[in-house]
Structure 1
Amino acid sequence: MSSTELDCSDLDNYLGKLMHAPARMKEPLHNNDFRRWVQAMHYPNLLHYDHDFAAKGRYGRLVAPQSFAIATDNGHGAWPASAGFIPDSHLIFGGDEWWFYGPRIFAGDDICNEQIPYDYTIKETGFAGPTCFQRGDNNYYNQHGDFVAKQRSTAIRYRRDAAIEKGAMEASEAPAWSETEIAELQERKYDYIKMMHELGHGKRYWDDVNIGDALPGRVIGPHSVASLTTEWRAYLFSIWGSTHRPGVDMESMGYTKEFAGHENDPVMERDNPELTDGAYFGPSRGHLFGDWARRIGMPREYGYGASMGAWILDYLAGWAGEWGQVVHSKANYRAPALVGDITLFKATVVDKLKDDEGRHLIQVDLKMNNQLGAVMATAKAEIELPTKVTN
């Protein structure tokens, strides 16, 4: 097969069919799982990690951020968007669409995820020629059967050799930041944190928000191998023995042997668990090792698409406050968070509406850029806010 061909014929065998058993952790969730998550995702919202603050709030206890649902999966939402065999392929995340149905996640909950491949399309890209954009649904339920959230994940699947051949992302060095610049970034980061502190347990009312309003900016980074490793470790499935493993042969999905590894292999986990860590040996190693990043067409170490999705949800939820919630978000990922770069957030209110369920919603357009202005992601989201009028 030449590098200009992409055989996706096997994918049709999986569409609409439930994959494996539902993904779930072996033990109930713990408050420290939430704390680890928000720390890794650079989201210092007291509601999710400070016991005393949370005790005085809406829920009377710590609550997981909305973004945490993906941490309860066995592969950050990617499995149903990557079902089926594409020879000599690799994948990166292309986007996530989320719907939230109201129930929140607390310590003691047991979340399961039904994974169902949805659809795919093949497009010509400058990155890798013929490229498969595959989508899959993740349906998250708690132990009571309550529907917590749906995630429709998009995987970009491509021929690894074609990406290297095209060289759309040439190898590059991480930028250097001076101590003065780092200090300035910390001040900008604190502006967003102060916004959450100032709102506290208060309500951000729908009535007070106007079309054209800009949300406060947010800064994450500079990204580093250390920060990416911290993110990886916050996904619960990356912990030895934490989850019921699906036991999928990565080579059966089309990964070349050196990238396939034993991630989510329950047999190898009992024998030699170090070989089951995808960040060290397997499909995720390009995130943390520059040489392996370049082998899949990336310029240097790069971040996780699922984390970008979490950053977006956290950014919006932090602005909404504990009495609001994100009800829907559709994000497209256009460029990765590369080591050395920073991520800048901006969002604008584009609509106010009351939906068929009587919810008062704010619609925002969001964009994430790096320090050079390159677009990393775009999103449109609807956020429910309380109103001063109850009828």
Structure 2
Amino acid sequence: MTDKILDCSDLDRHMGKAICPSRPRDPIAKMDIRRWAQAMRYPNRLHYDDGFANESRFGRLIAPQSFAVACDDGHGAAPACVGKIPESHLIFGGDEWWFYGPRIYDGDWIHDERVPFDYVVKETKFGGPTCFQRGDNNYYNQNGDFIAKQRSTSIRYRADIAREAGALTGTEDPEWTESQIVELEARKFEYIKSMHELGHGKRYWDNVNIGDTLPTRVIGPHSIASFTTEWRAYLFNIWCGVVRRTDLDIEALGFTGPMAGKEQDPVLELENPELTDGAYIGPSRGHLFPQWARYIGMPRGYGYGASMGAWILDYLSGWAGEWGMVLHSNAAYRGPAFTGDITIMTATVIDKKIDEKGNPFVQVDFKMSNQLGAVMATAKAEIQLPKR
């Protein structure tokens, strides 16, 4: 029987102390924005069609609100993974976002200041004693404008205990018939049409009522290919795409064995970059290789928590339209997207308010599930809308 101890004694000395900041090596390019929208399966023309974007209120191509996390060098999890927990691994547990108004455009140079926040240890069916650790990412542009804060939650656990528990079952991808795929594509297009119908128009706060439901958004089926497309849209996953951290040591964090590779090592990247590429070697490869997914307690290839968070922000932003904006979102991730599954997003308006500055907004209750009805994520969000 495994000795079920999770040693978190090293974490206290890191709380509240800033870690090495992150920034892309180059200013943001239009193709970075387009690549992100495509990888997140978010066909909002503001983010890839110059003609449409030029006629918008922005007068140019603009990045989705979710794009901020693409500018970080660790999916936002870096300040939520500090301190050594021996024999541990990490998956994503949630993201809370606050947006302050400035948007990201091509030509911007984004940097991220990061501070570990707190942690708590709980018992879980998946991994026994499990550490839920949080850290803040503060995103700024080259002018010092505060774009967004992301409070990321990481779940740190012992992979050997998770393998022993075997809480996640289903090693084989579900099979979809050709007719089912055709039906899925039709369901996906319903959400896309809702964005087309709104176009450059305004979704007025006055016309939204408590109890209204947002259009259903469907993505998938997920695959190793789709997860790989997501991976390459994060700028830090491109060779020399970001200024690498000098304080990152995967083994010192407690990752062990085949999961303690030299992912993001700035010296090795120049000598043999494939050895630093998390798609192939190191703690991230469990997403793309079923063998390594099972090693950390997952049944098969699985998606990225930061992408799940982006899907939520994109879904809400697409409904709000170009005159609206997600102000705040607090999402908890309950289970990843697995290969072969689809992801279904729904939301309901649960409140309408006007803040102390006179800005109207609605609050929505969000749910993400797979084709079997298993809940993957939940969230509460506040969305600012224009008022007549």
Range into which the TM-score falls when normalised by the shorter chain: over 0.9
Show the 5 A alignment for 1:31-180.
31-180=30-179
- Following superposition, the deviation at residue 83 of structure 1 comes to 0.6
TM-score norm. by structure 2 comes to 0.99
Query: Which residue is 1:342 aligned to?
Result: 342
Query: Aligned partner of 1:204: which letter?
Result: R
Show the 5 A alignment for 1:188-267.
188-247=187-246, 248-267=248-267
Query: Aligned partner of 2:100: which letter?
Result: Y
- Following superposition, the deviation at residue 111 of structure 1 comes to 0.5
In structure 1, C-alpha distance between the alignment counterparts of 2:276 and 2:3, rounded to whole Å: 29
In structure 2, C-alpha distance between the alignment counterparts of 1:328 and 1:206, rounded to whole Å: 17
State which drifts further: 290-299 or 244-253: 244-253
In structure 2, C-alpha distance between the alignment counterparts of 1:373 and 1:86, rounded to whole Å: 34
Query: Which residue is 2:370 aligned to?
Result: 370
Query: Which residue is 2:27 aligned to?
Result: 28
Q: Percent same amino acid among aligned pairs?
A: 67
In structure 1, C-alpha distance between the alignment counterparts of 2:7 and 2:147, rounded to whole Å: 35
In structure 2, C-alpha distance between the alignment counterparts of 1:161 and 1:3, rounded to whole Å: 10
**Is the 8 Å Cα contact of residues 370 and 376 (structure 1) preserved in structure 2?**
yes
In structure 2, C-alpha distance between the alignment counterparts of 1:60 and 1:387, rounded to whole Å: 22
After superposition, the CA RMSD in angstroms is: 0.9
Q: Which runs of 4+ in 1 moved over 4 A?
A: none
Query: Which residue is 2:314 aligned to?
Result: 314
In structure 1, C-alpha distance between the alignment counterparts of 2:264 and 2:234, rounded to whole Å: 13
- Following superposition, the deviation at residue 171 of structure 1 comes to 4.7
Query: Which residue is 1:6 aligned to?
Result: 6
In structure 1, C-alpha distance between the alignment counterparts of 2:318 and 2:29, rounded to whole Å: 21
State which drifts further: 75-84 or 169-178: 169-178
Query: Aligned partner of 1:133: which letter?
Result: F
Structure 2: state its 5+ residue gaps: none
Cα deviations by residue, 1:120-145 (Å, 9 ceiling, x for unpaired): 00000011111000000000001111
Structure 1: state its 5+ residue gaps: none
Q: Secondary structure at the match of 2:56?
A: coil
**Is the 8 Å Cα contact of residues 3 and 161 (structure 1) preserved in structure 2?**
no
In structure 2, C-alpha distance between the alignment counterparts of 1:312 and 1:378, rounded to whole Å: 9
Query: Which residue is 2:276 aligned to?
Result: 276
In structure 1, C-alpha distance between the alignment counterparts of 2:104 and 2:263, rounded to whole Å: 26
TM-score norm. by structure 1 comes to 0.98
In structure 1, C-alpha distance between the alignment counterparts of 2:357 and 2:23, rounded to whole Å: 31
Count of paired positions:
387
Query: Aligned partner of 2:73: which letter?
Result: N
Q: Secondary structure at the match of 2:267?
A: helix
Query: Which residue is 1:358 aligned to?
Result: 358
In structure 2, C-alpha distance between the alignment counterparts of 1:186 and 1:171, rounded to whole Å: 25
